[in-house]
Structure 1
Amino acid sequence: MPDPTSMSSAGHVYKRFVPQPVRSAAATTVPAGVRRKVKGQLARTLRRREARLHRRALRRVRRAGLGSSERRTTAYDGRVGHVHTGLTADLARRFDHDLVTQALDAAEIPWFAVPALDDRRICLAVEQRNKGAVRRVLRALLEEHTGYVVSVSPAQGDTKEIPGSHLKAWKHYGKARVIRLVWLRTDPTENLWVGEDQGIEIEFWTADTALGTERLIGPRPNRVQRAVPSDAPGVEIGLDRLSGYCDIDGDLEPTITLETFDVIRLEEIDFPVDAVLLWQHPTAWGEELLRAALRSLHQYAPWVDVVHVIAEAEPPAWLRTGERLTVVRARPGAEWQLHLLPDVAEHFLLLRPGAVLGRPVRPFDYFTPNGQSRPRRGPWNAQESFAPWSSAAYSATGRITAHGYAHGSQPYRVQTFARLAATGSAPLHLPDGQHAPAVPGTHPLDGVAHHLAHTNGLAEPSGEASTALHAALPGIRPHLERLLVRRDTQQIHLFGLGSDEAHARGGTRAVVDFLHRYFPVTSPFEHEQATVASAVPSGEAVGRR
């Protein structure tokens, strides 16, 4: 069993083992020099003991073979990063989880996963009595696989740039009730960095024997309960049950939690969600838009079940069809008939050319647990109120529209399209946003279909912000660079790559370069031999439909 004591200062040990009356008497009778000498010897003894225990923990970590990466590199802020080919946000989360849990197992420290309030991170719980052993094995782990540690509760962020193998990185550990371990990871191009907003949090739960049955009390609220029986049985649970950002593939390695935590989350989505992508532009830049959309789904929405590509032109040869990707040939305007798409799930995301995901998303961001879609609202102005889609939406529902809808990926239900077809409304003309001279307003299909879904109780519009940029925008490169550096925008939609102005000003090339850097990791929807050029070729790049 692990040593239940924690690393303490000489003063703390002195107070612990010497009664208060004796300390008071010594303060008045024993010379100060003698007291300092005794405390100094005690401090040296503790340091030697701590070094011995650290070496033992390090041997355990090395025997377990923990902490491997292809190579190390220097991150954007000078910290150490780890390079992994094929890195995704979900894969990094699983790397971190496996590292910590295997280290705790190697040290024979019991643990269980907790459904934390912030499901961007996986949270583990250990008993307070094992706090000293936890610090030793985690410090050894961070020495073998360089990472960082901060105190979350109480919040102390001044150690986030100090490698966790250093003792001074643990200076707040004694008072910490919750800590966070962070590893910075990147792909071989070092354009994609993951880890800062994720990491593994460890809570220290205390035993409460005030009642007849011993309980464990958590240091902070979670999504289920803060007190659990200490003898509650453990059960296996998928990481997707703890974090909505995780892959729902049941073949992946589960984690361990207590039976009392295995309950449905308030925001948990238990129905499949597909993605529908439109392929309309058989050009070099058109292929890059499709490639980026597929990579954004792979990187930031691993929970998507099947991807359906609606091809209004000959699909690219590099598309890898299979169980998770289907290609259906269709005529222009097929968007109005998506309820006829074979084998599409009732709930799906629609991504038109130029729409990509900019950061990790959850099914809950697009659908409610009872099945309603959550379309993104957009700006409302006089131009929108007099647009043809606004009149068509009123004719189909008898209710006046009150807002537009944003660009980017939009959630839909098959039932919405079926009801829209039942109204007998004539399909509106669908503009080609990649040849438009400026960023268009609400897409006609979004306006009509979402308004009808809202009036029929199938949709509840939300307000998640989106970013829409036109490739002909003067000085577009700083805007793209800002998106690349921050990576905090959920919805991104790029327009006008086929316009004459964008080609003349170099905007098309700038957007394609941006997409290569934003999505450097190949998705499973591409053949391995497919290669990506560093920029749009000077000849074919300007090919227009």
Structure 2
Amino acid sequence: MAGSPSIGSAGRVYRRIVPQPVRAVASSRVPPRVRRKVKRGLVRTLNRREARLHGRALRLVRKSDLVASERRTRTPDGRVGHVHSGLTAELARRLDHDLVTAALDAAGIAWFAVPALDDRRICLAVEQQDKGQVRRVLRALLEEHTGYVVSVSPSSDDTRMIPGSHLRAWKNYGKAKVVRITWLRTEPTENLWVGEEQGIEIEFWTVNNTLSYERLVGPRPNRVQRVVSRDAVGIEIGFDRLSGYCDIDGDKEPTVTLEQFDIPRLEEIAFPVDAVLLWEHPGPWGEELLRASLRSIHQYAPWTDVVHVVATAPVPDWLGGDEGRLSVVSAGAGADAHLQHVPEIAEHFILMRPGALLGRPVRPFDYFTPNGVTRPRRGRWTAEESLAPWTASAYSATGCAVTQVFAPGPQPYTCGVLNRLASTEAAAGPAVDGQTAPTLPGTHPGDGLVHHVAYASGLADPSGETTVVLHAALPGIGQPLRRLLVRRDTQHLQFFGLGSDEALGTGGSEAVISFLHRYFPVASPFEHGNSEDPDNHT
């Protein structure tokens, strides 16, 4: 199998250097034994040449300052993974980018970043004429830092299980217009895996000489334009300008693109977005919910500006650190109705009540439109919801009937809507404590009232993103928890009932806490004084 690519290459070389009439005569007059001998000689020559060029590329890669993982391991499906302490999706994205660009730079291959249509991945462009050299340097890189390669255009993932250092992994490379390089990364407990949906895509741009100046033409559409001048000026650009999932760069290293691509995305959010977490339940299970919420923000929403913990109970000793991004505010009961008065809070923020979590990477656009309108999550409409007391308050405040309810979990808020609601003097009414209630509560009155006022004022555009809601007392809760842990395909999670007698008595609360430890194994920078403190990692 290892020689099959060379045999195919030898056949192509043979057809290229021997004209068709000569091949036709040779096939009838030259003995098959002689023809086979010629082709075997071509195979040996190509193998020696490929080995020499691969060795040269490997030496260039090894001279580069590549970031090595702490150790290697095996993924659940048997592939090679890399272990990194404190791993996040953002860190994995930057590691992938730095590895590929360092290898291309070492080989002297020009590249630039492209604002791709898919926000999950960073895309780099190289010229088609460098395609052979790109393959050699990437294969050398994947030998030094084991990863995988697949063809994106045309789509073919039959090589996803073959390490990219093997020649077989590149069998689709000749026809590929776009390839994807991926590394599978995990943290020391190996509960969180990152990489399958990320990776670096490399596009091969062709040179067009039909006009008086040379142009580069991309192999597929992107967010800005498909044709650029070949002598365009390169500029530095932050990762957040290429992907909505990325952190606002600040002092982090930018990447390089062409000046024609320095155009805001249609869904780009230019204003800061804060996160507000309500802390209401002192005790072990309450602290675990708070810890998980902080970790979910750190892991899946690195673009949040400041995290405000609004506490109606004494805060845990371990909460602290990262003073530039963490604000702890003591408040009384009903503080969620007056969040616009939290010191230095941004106009736009995401409210996370106890048990609300992010389950996978999210963007600011998932919660707000570029003009500042909120995108609250709709819930399931039922007869009980239509008769809830908050619906009457919402009608009296706006004069509009309530026609939709809102799901638990992270929800977008604006201070402007809270101020508008305060001017109506409408009250949401008492809310059921979802963590001690024996059954699932309905729409939180505060969420329902705020989002209805915003919708009636043209300041909200409700969406239908699914939120998984579970009560800790659910019989057989272990099965849905295992499914969530394996799939990790849910954007929003909401847990209720961890403090209910039913959950505490049946072990449901312990099952949820164990799940949270495995789903969010990486400590956030807001935790200190415990064994998982990120500052304690060596």
TM-score bucket (shorter structure): over 0.9
How many angstroms apart in 2 are the aligned matches of 1:147 and 1:363?
30
Deviations, residues 386-432 of structure 1 (Å, cap 9, x unaligned): 10111111111000111110110000111010000001113411221
CA pair 531-136 structure 1, distance change in 2 beyond 3 A: closer
For 1:230 and 1:166, the matched residues in 2 are separated by: 33
Distance 2:188 2:472 in 1: 28
SS of residue in 2 equivalent to 1:94: helix
Question: Do 2:309 and 2:329's aligned partners in 1 also have CA atoms closer than 8 Å?
Answer: yes
Give, as a single letter, the amino acid of the residue that structure 1 aligns with 2:352: L
**Alignment-derived partner of residue 31 in structure 2:** 31
TM-score scaled by structure 1? 0.95
Residue 217 of structure 1, CA deviation: 1.0
Structure 1 match to 2:185:
185
Determine if contact 1:114/1:123 at 8 Å carries over to the other structure.
yes
The two structures, once aligned, show a CA RMSD in angstroms of 1.4
Q: Return the alpha-carbon distance in structure 1 between the equivalents of residues 80 and 520 of structure 2.
A: 22
Matches within 5 A, 1:15-414: 15-321=15-321, 322-414=323-415
Distance 1:465 1:30, change over 3 A: same
Larger deviation, residues 315-324 vs 362-371: 315-324
Q: Name the residue aligned to 1:539.
A: none
Q: Which residue of 1 aligns with 2:536?
A: none
Q: Kindly provide the CA deviation profile for residues 455-508 of structure 1, in whole angstroms up to 9, marking residues without a partner as x.
A: 111110011000000000000011111111110100000000000000011001
Distance 2:384 2:427 in 1: 21
Kept in 2: contact 1:70–1:82 (CA 8 A) = yes
Quote the offset at 1:267 in angstroms.
0.8
Runs of 4+ in 1 over 6 A off after TM superposition: none
Q: Secondary structure at the match of 1:202?
A: strand
The one-letter code sitting in structure 2 at the alignment partner of 1:356 is: L
> One-letter code of the match for 1:424?
E
Shift of 1:32: 2.9
User: In the aligned structure 1, how far is the partner of 2:205 from the partner of 2:386?
Assistant: 56
Matched residue type, 1:269:
I
Structure 1 residues 531 and 40: CA distance shift in structure 2, 3 A: closer
* Residues 22/531 of structure 1: CA separation in 2 closer, same or farther (3 Å cut): closer
C-alpha displacement of 1:67 = 4.9
> Partner amino acid for 1:227?
V
Preserved contact between residue 67 and residue 144 of structure 1 (Cα < 8 Å): no
Say which SS state the counterpart of residue 174 (structure 2) adopts.
Answer: helix
Deviation at 1:8, TM superposition (A): 7.3
- Could you tell me whether the CA contact under 8 Å between 2:373 and 2:461 is conserved in 1? yes
Residue aligned with 1:404, SS: coil
Please give the per-residue CA displacement for 1:351-379, whole angstroms capped at 9, x wherever unaligned.
Answer: 00000100000001011011101000011
Q: State the partner residue of 1:472.
A: 473
Q: Which runs of 5+ in 2 are unaligned?
A: 1-5, 534-538
Q: Distance in 1 between matches of 2:288 and 2:473?
A: 17
Q: Deviations over 1:98-152 (max 9, x none)?
A: 0000000011111111111111000111111111111111111101111111111
1:471 touches 1:507 (CA, 8 Å); kept in 2?
A: yes
User: Structure 1 counterpart of 2:395, which letter?
Assistant: Y
Give the fraction of aligned pairs with identical amino acids, expressed as a percent.
Answer: 69
How far is 1:449 from its partner? 0.5
The residue aligned with 1:445 is 446
Paired with 1:258 and 1:7, the residues of 2 have a C-alpha distance of: 40
Q: Which residue of 2 aligns with 1:541?
A: none
Classify the secondary structure of the residue corresponding to 2:59: helix
Tell me what 1:502 maps to.
503
Match of 2:3? none
Partner Cα separation in structure 2 for residue 240 and residue 69 of structure 1: 25
SS class of match (1:204): strand
CA contact (8 A) 2:378 2:463 kept: yes
Please report how far the alpha carbon of residue 339 of structure 1 lies from its aligned counterpart in structure 2 after TM superposition. 1.1
Q: 1:531: Cα distance to partner?
A: 5.1
**Other structure's SS at 1:9 match:** helix
Task: Report deviation, 1:7.
Answer: 11
Q: CA contact under 8 A between 1:7 and 1:132: conserved in structure 2?
A: no
In structure 1, runs of 5+ residues without a counterpart are 1-5, 533-545
Instruction: Give the alignment's TM-score, normalised by structure 2.
Output: 0.96
Contact 1:333–1:430 (Cα < 8 Å) also in 2: no
Amino acid at match of 1:82: H
In structure 1, the partner of 2:9 is 9
Cα distance in 1 for partners of 2:531, 2:354 equals: 20
Per-residue deviation, 1:516: 0.5
- What is the DSSP-based 3-state SS (H/G/I as helix, E as strand, rest coil) of the residue aligned with 1:253? coil
The amino acid that maps onto 2:288 is E
What is the letter of the counterpart of residue 165 of structure 1? S
Q: Quick one: distance in 1 between partners of 2:442 and 2:86?
A: 37
